[in-house]
Amino acid sequence: MSAETAIESIFQQVVRRNPGEDEFHQAVHEVLETLGPVLVKHPEYAEHKIIERICEPERQIIFRVPWQDDNGHVQINRGFRVQFNSALGPYKGGLRFHPSVYLGIIKFLGFEQIFKNALTGMPIGGAKGGSDFDPKGRSDGEVMRFCQSFMTELHRHLGEYTDVPAGDIGVGAREIGFLFGQYKRITNRYESGVLTGKNPHWGGSLVRREATGYGTVFFVDEMLRARGQSLEGRTCLVSGSGNVAIYAIEKLEELGAKVVACSDSNGVIHDPDGISLETVKQLKEIERRRISDYIKHRPRAKYHAGASIWDIPCDVALPCATQNELGETAARRLVANGCIAVAEGANMPTTPGGIRVFEEARIAYGPGKAANAGGVATSALEMQQNASRDAWTFEYTEKRLHAIMRDIHGRCFEAAEEFGSPGNYIVGANITGFRRVAEAMLAFGLI
Ligand code: NDP
Ligand code: 2IT
């Protein structure tokens, strides 16, 4: 049986065993379709069923999260933590609070996280968790009660050497604070390393807030350098207006690029003079408002409800909102408008059809596993600081992040060459991450 046939049959088995989990199937397919050449080079991986084992989470926890809203009504949500792979270190990965969350979303994110975390070169396994809780329109008190209830169940599965969650969509510094407070209270331990993304005043790392966005920009900068180009003077689009988007915009501006648009799930802001980051931060980080309010502060900007950000002409596009936000039609539009680089701040934002368009056009395309790995890498730096009871400066931590992103780029670039797909960062990222996990799993015996 050829490596490709063997892999297709593993994929079919994953689909059969995980019915209805479309996003998980998509994430698995995207990795498996690049692994053929690895199996040819390493028949021992097939013999020991490494791929089959990696596709099956080590542990899946699903639990009830009851809480009381401000009107005294009982609310019930569902909580998840999928501990996917611990070959390289404690389970590590964010928590997502969004009404679209179900097991298939958490599994796709956890699966991606295995390879992303391996790619950072740091000692962290892969996991993801979250809930179908919708934080939009909820008071601080409601969010606190939800977080306390969520942690009341989840705490027994966590620990600095066991599983270390962080933020993702809908989970930022406020939620991490409530979660940490409840963990500390239940366990009677000030175990700083059990969560990352903490406020720097009580154990968080400087640069963690900025890390995913900054890292994505460092990655796109590396891709452009590899082609003898730079970010200077480039027109950019950044979708979303949350944590990743905001700090991607900040670093793009620092490096001399101009960001003309950002968005949220309701619509798009187009500001040809360049997005005012101060306004976005005030609206999103402080007031928790919709991005449509931006035009009240910047009357020359336009708001397009329900529009696609990818219709706006640009040189560089950074999808930083959510999965499957950039489809085939949008990808064609970007390429037709002269876009030269795409790097994914979000997880799996480009559909398979969109990826094909970028590959055919041979533009620089950085998949999320590589491009957004700066967030989790800086989480690992936060764990290092917690373990040594130390706190590093902003400058030093950012230097470490920058070096990590350069290394990730280098590893992906070289692996893509080695396996016959020069310039293909999907191949490079998947193979590099997979090999590191596979080697550890082989060494550990049948686990
Ligand atoms: P936030 O909650 O801070 O922001 C999410 C942004 O994306 C918001 O602007 C939100 O708009 C928009 N968005 C969310 N869902 C949708 C949707 N279904 N359609 C359109 N827009 C949507 O999350 P983050 O910035 O932390 O996360 C963004 C992406 O980056 C996610 O894919 C996440 O997995 C990924 N990521 C995050 C990391 C981190 O460190 N935080 C690390 C690596 C990847 P609205 O307010 O309208 O919902
Ligand atoms: O998708 C991701 O890498 C994250 N949400 C960050 C995970 C982390 O543990 O910092």
Probe residue for ligand 2, chosen from 83, 88, 113, 216 as the CB with the greatest number of ligand atoms within 8 Å: 113
How far, in Å, is the centroid of ligand 1 from the Cα of 347?
Answer: 9
How far, in Å, is the centroid of ligand 2 from the Cα of 395?
Answer: 21
Tell me what pLDDT residue 150 has: 99
Q: Is the CB of 322 under 6 A from ligand 2?
A: no
Residue with tokens 């994929």: 11
Strand, coil or helix: 131:
strand
Tell me what pLDDT residue 1 has: 80
Domain range summary for the chain, segments of one domain joined by +: 3-54, 59-189, 210-371
Residues in contact with 49: Cβ distance below 8 Å, sequence separation at least 6, in sequence order: none
For this structure, is 369 an active site residue? no
Residues in contact with 237: Cβ distance below 8 Å, sequence separation at least 6, in sequence order: 259, 260, 261, 262, 309, 310, 312, 314, 316, 317, 318
Q: How far is 113 from 130, CA to CA, in rounded Å?
A: 14
Q: Is the CB of 379 under 6 A from ligand 2?
A: yes
- Residue 181: HSE in the Cβ half-sphere, 13 Å Cα cutoff: 13
Residues in contact with 115: Cβ distance below 8 Å, sequence separation at least 6, in sequence order: 31, 126, 369, 429, 430, 433, 434, 437
Bridge-based pairing of strands 258-263 and 235-238 is: parallel
Global pTM reads 0.98
The dotted CATH code for 210-371 is 3.40.50.720
Q: Among 165, 181, 176, which residue's Cα sits nearest to residue 129? A: 165
Residues in contact with 337: Cβ distance below 8 Å, sequence separation at least 6, in sequence order: 312, 313, 314
Determine the angle formed by the axes of helices 103-119 and 425-443, rounding to 10 degrees. 90
Q: Is the CB of 168 under 6 A from ligand 2?
A: yes
How far, in Å, is the centroid of ligand 2 from the Cα of 112?
Answer: 10
Q: Among 102, 79, 112, which residue's Cα sits nearest to residue 19? A: 102
Q: How far is 46 from 52, CA to CA, in rounded Å?
A: 9
Q: How far is 204 from 195, CA to CA, in rounded Å?
A: 9
318 touches 239 (CB < 8 A): yes
Query: Dihedral (C-alpha) 370, 239, 275, 266: value to the nearest 10 degrees?
Result: -160
Catalytic one of 92, 107, 128, 369: 128
Q: Is the CB of 93 under 6 A from ligand 2?
A: yes
Q: How far is 308 from 311, CA to CA, in rounded Å?
A: 6
Atom of ligand 2 nearest to the CA of 116: 3
Report the amino acid identity of residue 378.
T
Tell me what pLDDT residue 95 has: 99
Q: Which residues, listed in sequence order, are joined to residue 74 by a DSSP beta bridge? A: 68
Mean pLDDT by groups of 10 residues along the chain of 447 residues? 93 98 98 97 97 98 98 98 98 98 98 98 98 98 98 98 98 98 98 98 98 99 98 98 98 98 98 97 96 96 98 98 98 98 98 98 98 98 98 98 98 97 98 98 96
Strand, coil or helix: 196:
coil
Tell me what pLDDT residue 122 has: 98
208 touches 244 (CB < 8 A): no
Residue closest via CA to ligand 1's atom 43 equals: 372
Lateral strand order in the sheet of 267-270: 302-305, 267-270, 258-263, 235-238, 316-318, 341-343, 364-366
Residue with tokens 């976005």: 280
Q: How far is 331 from 333, CA to CA, in rounded Å?
A: 5
How far, in Å, is the centroid of ligand 2 from the Cα of 2?
Answer: 35
59-189 CATH, one of 3.30.470.20, 3.40.50.10860, 3.30.1280.10, 2.30.29.30: 3.40.50.10860
